[in-house]
Amino acid sequence: MVKKIFPIAIVIFIGIFAVLDLANFGIPPTHDGEYHVMRFQQFYKVISGGNLYPRWAPDFNNGFGIPLFNYVYPWPNYVASIFHASGLGFIDSFKLNMAAATLFGAIFMYLWAKKYWGEWGAVVSSVFYTFSPYHFLDIYVRGSVGEVWSLGLAPALFWSYYSYYESNRKIFLVLSSIFLALLILAHNILALIFFSFFILYSSYLILNSKEKKALILNTFIICLTGLGLSSPFWLPALLETQYVIGLQTSQPLQHFPVLYKLIYSSWGYGFSGTNESDQMSFQIGIANLIAVAGSMIVLYVSKKKRTLLFFNSLFLITVFFITPFSVLLWKNIPGIAYIQFPWRLLSLVILIASFLAGSLVQDSLFKKREKAWMIITAILIIISIGFSIRYAKAPFYHKRADQHYLTRANFTDGTNSPGNAFNTKWLLGIPDKKKEKIEVVEGSGNIKISEIKSISYSFTVDSKVDSKILINTAYFPGWTAEVNGESVPVENHKGRILLKIPKGAKNIRVFLDNTPIQKLSYTYFLISVLLLVLIHAKTTAIIKK
């Protein structure tokens, strides 16, 4: 029993060790961490008010609100909401988010690699993945909690799909759909990268399958339902981009790393494209490069030549796309600019390199030579940790609690993004704060507010003449008004909500409803849930018979 759980115990221990520095009080000085703390707070505020899928951040933009969560990946926000509901602060929820994602990825990299290389090869792959420099860059430099979750969920998707491929059990089809959906919900850009890899990986397995037609059909179902489960996020984010500004703020051609920096570069905390001495590192990792080189040698003696050739080829192709030599492809491939930074492909590079590291101790190479593969495993683990352990920490921690961010105007009053991103296109910049949320701008009348929530306002107006009521909230499709229970038009007045109210006493409710695109996404979601339930139910019924 001890022998069976020992490999996974090592994986879990090293996974915890990799993020142990996050246990320090306060928040590390990352690029995105402070943004996420405030986003978690706004997301939790809306979800605790009864809205299961928040789209609006009500307090940003000087209280006018922005449709932030209509465009920003929601999965880390849900995880943070669970942590916060259990009593943790938003800063701790941010750090625990990244720790949980890292441990999740370590375990599933082990499970996936075990399918190919055996237990100890899987341990090596998991350690190499967890201790890849870019993994630490996302945690301790960039603070990109969505990307860290993507690095955790990608191996889970590939494990579940390969498990379905080899067993044909429908439970793995269902799990593959769920992991694909979570990957999209975790980070939209990395989802594009890993989904592209998934298509290549599944195509490779289909070509090696004896049941090609069935596998093609079920792979299509996985893609269809995975996209459906995540459609409340990606469908509106894609089709409603014209309503906001500032979503594309970077130029990929300005962010090619210098070639030698992929091999080694000093560990800085600056930004990409700044040419500063403190610029962040883009290194693949010395240990990962050793592993890839070793896997190319192992290819000649391994029984898994096709697998090694496939992954080595993809490694070289992906690295090529990170270098300036691929500039023509970045200029001409439709949609590739959506990735923003060529070095973002390091997420895929470290996944492939770490997977290949396990091939150096695969079962078929050593057979009964237990001492040999134990020694090789230990050496590889030491190499991986030794080259990267200095990156497994933040330079320091801001000794701050949540209130530092929740009470300062520079964190609460903007759009929570550089370049005024996510503000509605009808507002010219961030508007000045208004003392009153609701005011009469034409005519006369007494306003009595009954209730103001994150995405709904209830009030009464008693006027002797026809009046115009201005709601100091950013106009956005979906805002709806009811007067005495009957729907009335909502107008756009310089980027704000305007209502025309006939004379007399009126009960008015203004609330953010779903747009037609959002309603379509929920329909697609429900159809996907129903399809997966039917697949699982049918499988269960067959097993019982």
Question: Is residue 426 domain-resident?
Answer: no
Out of 360, 381, 404, pick the residue that ends a domain: 404
| Chain centroid offset of residue 142 CA | 14
pLDDT of residue 254: 86
pLDDT at 526: 98
Measured between alpha carbons, how far is 418 from 83 in angstroms, rounded to an integer?
27
Phi–psi pair at 457, nearest 5 degrees:
-135, 130
Domain of 463 in residue numbering reads as 438-513
Pairing between β-strand 504-512 and β-strand 456-463 as defined by DSSP bridges: antiparallel
Residues 335 and 470 in one domain: no
The answer to the question of residue 424 being in a domain is no
Last residue of a domain, one of 404, 420, 452: 404
353 and 465 fall within a common domain: no
Cα 338 from chain centre: 15
Same domain membership, residue 442 and residue 400: no
Residue 252 and residue 351 in one domain: yes
Same domain, 61 and 138: yes
Residue 404 exposed, middle or buried by CB count within 10 Å (0-12, 13-18, 19+)? middle
What does each of the 545 residues of the chain score in pLDDT, given as a tens digit?
667 789 999 999 999 999 999 999 999 999 999 999 999 999 999 999 999 999 999 999 999 999 999 999 999 999 999 999 999 999 999 999 999 999 999 999 999 999 999 999 999 999 999 999 999 999 999 999 999 999 999 999 999 999 999 999 999 999 999 999 999 999 999 999 999 999 999 999 999 998 899 999 999 999 999 999 999 999 999 999 999 987 765 688 888 998 889 998 889 888 887 566 668 899 999 999 999 999 999 988 888 899 999 999 999 999 999 999 999 999 999 889 889 899 999 999 999 999 999 999 876 665 566 677 778 889 999 999 999 999 999 999 999 999 999 999 988 898 888 777 889 999 988 999 998 999 998 888 889 999 999 999 999 999 889 999 999 999 999 999 999 999 999 999 999 999 999 999 889 999 999 999 999 999 999 999 999 999 888 765 554 45
Comparing CA positions, the residue from 127, 167, 105, 113 lying closest to residue 304 is 113
**Do 397 and 456 fall within a single domain?**
no
Residues 6+ apart with CB under 8 A from 545: none
Residue 527 lies in a domain: no
Whether 425 is in a domain gets the answer no
Q: Is residue 528 part of a domain?
A: no
pLDDT for position 367: 59
pTM of the model: 0.95
Do 494 and 369 lie in one domain? The reply is: no
Q: Residue 417 falls within a domain, yes or no?
A: no
Same domain, 374 and 464: no
Q: Are residues 448 and 400 in the same domain?
A: no
Domain contains 118: yes
For 348-402, write each residue's pLDDT tens digit.
999 999 999 999 987 666 556 667 777 888 999 999 999 999 999 999 999 999 9
Indicate whether 482 belongs to any domain: yes
Residue 188 CA to residue 338 CA, distance in Å, equals: 10
Assess whether 449 and 317 both reside in one domain.
no
- CA R_g for the chain: 26
- CB contact at 8 A, 358 and 125: yes
**Contact in structure between 477 and 443 (CB atoms under 8 Å):** no
Q: Is the Cβ–Cβ distance between 505 and 462 less than 8 Å?
A: yes
The rounded distance, in Å, linking the Cα atoms of 518 and 55 is 10
pLDDT of residue 540: 58
Q: Judge if 92 and 27 occupy the same domain.
A: yes
What is the pLDDT, as a whole number, of residue 364?
Answer: 60
The pLDDT value recorded for residue 370 is: 64
The helix (run of H) or strand (run of E) holding residue 369 is none
* Dist CA 441 CA 444 (whole Å): 8
Q: Are 133 and 354 in contact (CB under 8 A)?
A: no
Residue 368 and residue 504 in one domain: no
AA letter at 15: G
**Domain end position, chosen among 404, 422, 452:** 404
Q: What is the CATH number of the domain that holds 478?
A: 2.60.40
Domain count, the chain: 2
